């Protein structure tokens, strides 16, 4: 005998009321998002001025004294309270009621050790340092969001924490921020990155794995130096290193699942320079990447096994250094599914559905993952590509150039992600009651 599922009775009037309420909420959110965008555009001159001042004076890792001072001056002028220092030169500002729910927004501030090769009025004034990854724009957009949110602080249904973070570029500054309590009681966090592959103002969203888990390695293979004429008596680290590098490539081609993403790159090889004498040792190194943290752990294990095995075959000794004291490994950035739905909705409300595209998985690393290890997080990208002004070069290029029209859109996006999240959270709470 079959069974029949009996759904609970829901009055039609209640369903209609919920539909009308949801529709009104969407239209209300859209009007609010567009209002934020319009207001952000009216602040464009200020945003550009702030960004250029940061760009002209790039600083590395945790040594962000001038950058941090500039941000604090702007927050003081806006009347936004903050805590400083956090993670040496980081800042945590707070806007809203001070009570739950709490949502966090993060921007990285540090530059790269590159010589800027773009000739323009606001070129880097510091030799060998450049904002070639757009962190100056991230910082500016978060300041823009602070200004937008602070004007509405009495209307916020909770609290927004703004994290201005040092040392994303290899310094794992996010980990220090987390350890020093930057998240507070935040239950979700949003981060943003500019994207030179998409037109200015277009937003890319992706759920699940988004950026790779990464680490670096340095291998030293020790042999026995001798004149090349006595080849029978020496222990050749050059041959051992060559065989090892070839064997490591087999990890990707023969052991890794081809449907998953792994990268093992040997980026340098260094030995002696004499033509008639074998070196005592050869050193080489590079990076490991995987779209899962478990995948990175597997690569690290197999790297060590292969290197030690090949060294033994060639009668050499070896030392494997995963450089974890110098460069903390980054976990994979994995975007929360629920926050993806929120980010996708807010982005479409802000710029229109036609300017919101599915994002691509990228094998670059990002220490935003350390926040996601504690609370649900979402990392979103926004386009800056503009061929007319030369904003076409990849990140970490000395020719990198930014289309500053992204600044108002990014500011409004940060603000809308936070404010509408708080509003939605309150609405859900009231319905449950």
Say yes or no to pLDDT of 269 above 80: yes
User: pTM for this one?
Assistant: 0.87
- The end-to-end CA distance of the chain, in Å, is 40
- Which one is the CATH code of 211-321: 3.20.20.70, 3.30.70.360, 3.40.50.2300, 3.40.30.10? 3.30.70.360
Residue 431, pLDDT score: 43
Say yes or no to pLDDT of 105 above 70: yes
The number of beta carbons lying within 10 Å of the beta carbon of residue 212 is 28
Q: In the structure, what pLDDT confidence band is assigned to residue 340 with cuts at 50, 70 and 90?
A: very high
- Where exactly does CATH 3.30.70.360 map onto the chain? 211-321
For residues 257 and 415, the model is more confident at: 415
CA–CA gap between residue 349 and residue 40 (Å, rounded): 15
Say yes or no to pLDDT of 259 above 50: yes
Count Cα neighbours of 213 within 13 Å in the Cβ-side half-sphere.
22
Topology of the domain covering 21-207+336-432 = Aminopeptidase (3.40.630)
Cis omega before residue 350 (within 30°)? no
CA–CA gap between residue 300 and residue 293 (Å, rounded): 11
* Mean pLDDT lowest among 26-30, 177-181, 193-197, 307-311: 26-30
Q: In the structure, what pLDDT confidence band is assigned to residue 324 with cuts at 50, 70 and 90?
A: confident
Residue 233, pLDDT score: 60
- Where exactly does CATH 3.40.630.10 map onto the chain? 21-207+336-432
Say yes or no to pLDDT of 432 above 60: no
What integer is the mean pLDDT of 339-364? 96
- H/E stretch holding 427 reads helix 406-432
> 112-140, pLDDT tens digit by residue?
999 999 999 999 999 999 999 999 999 99
Percent of the chain scoring above 90 in pLDDT:
80
Say yes or no to pLDDT of 358 above 70: yes
Q: In the structure, what pLDDT confidence band is assigned to residue 276 with cuts at 50, 70 and 90?
A: confident
Spatial contact of 316 and 240, defined as CB atoms under 8 Å apart: yes
Q: 406 Cβ partners below 8 Å, 6+ apart?
A: 137, 141, 194, 200, 201, 382, 383, 384
């Amino acid at each position: 005998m079959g069974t029949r599922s009996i759904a609970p009775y829901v009055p039609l009037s209640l369903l209609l009321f919920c539909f009308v309420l949801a529709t009104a909420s969407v239209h209300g959110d859209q009007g609010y998002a567009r209002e934020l965008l319009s207001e952000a555009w009216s602040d464009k001159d200020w945003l550009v001025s702030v960004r250029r001042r940061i760009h002209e004076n790039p600083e590395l890792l945790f040594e962000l004294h001038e950058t941090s001072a500039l941000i604090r001056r702007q927050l003081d002028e806006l009347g936004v309270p903050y805590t400083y220092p956090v993670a040496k030169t980081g800042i945590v500002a707070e806007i809203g009621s001070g009570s739950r729910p709490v949502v966090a927004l993060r921007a990285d501030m540090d530059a790269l050790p590159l010589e800027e090769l773009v000739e323009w009025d606001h070129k880097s004034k510091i030799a060998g340092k450049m904002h070639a990854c757009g962190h100056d724009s991230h910082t500016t957009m978060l300041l823009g969001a602070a200004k937008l949110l602070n004007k509405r602080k009495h209307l916020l249904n909770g609290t927004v924490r703004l994290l201005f973070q040092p040392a994303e570029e290899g310094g794992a500054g996010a980990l220090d921020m987390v350890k020093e309590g930057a998240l507070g009681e935040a239950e979700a966090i949003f981060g943003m990155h500019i994207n030179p592959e998409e037109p200015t103002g277009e937003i890319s969203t992706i759920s699940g794995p988004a950026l790779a888990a990464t680490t670096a390695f340095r291998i030293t293979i020790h042999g026995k130096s001798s004149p090349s004429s006595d080849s029978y008596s020496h222990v050749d680290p050059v041959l051992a290193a060559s065989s090892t590098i070839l064997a490591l490539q087999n990890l990707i081609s023969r052991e890794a699942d081809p449907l998953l993403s792994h990268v093992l790159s040997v980026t340098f090889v260094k030995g002696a320079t004499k033509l008639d004498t074998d070196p005592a040792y050869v050193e080489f190194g590079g990076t490991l990447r995987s779209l899962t943290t478990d995948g990175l752990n597997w690569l690290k294990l197999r790297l060590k096994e292969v290197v030690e095995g090949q060294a033994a075959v060639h009668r050499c000794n070896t030392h494997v250094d995963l450089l974890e004291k110098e460069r903390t490994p980054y976990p994979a950035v994995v975007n929360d599914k629920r926050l993806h739905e929120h980010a996708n909705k807010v982005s479409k409300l802000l710029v229109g559905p036609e300017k919101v595209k599915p994002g691509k998985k990228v094998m670059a690393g990002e220490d935003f993952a350390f926040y996601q290890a504690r609370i649900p997080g979402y990392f979103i990208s926004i386009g800056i590509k503009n061929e007319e002004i030369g904003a076409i070069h990849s990140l970490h290029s000395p020719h990198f150039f930014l289309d500053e029209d992204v600044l108002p859109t990014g500011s409004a996006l940060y603000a809308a992600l936070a404010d509408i999240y708080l509003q939605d959270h309150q609405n859900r709470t009231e319905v449950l009651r």
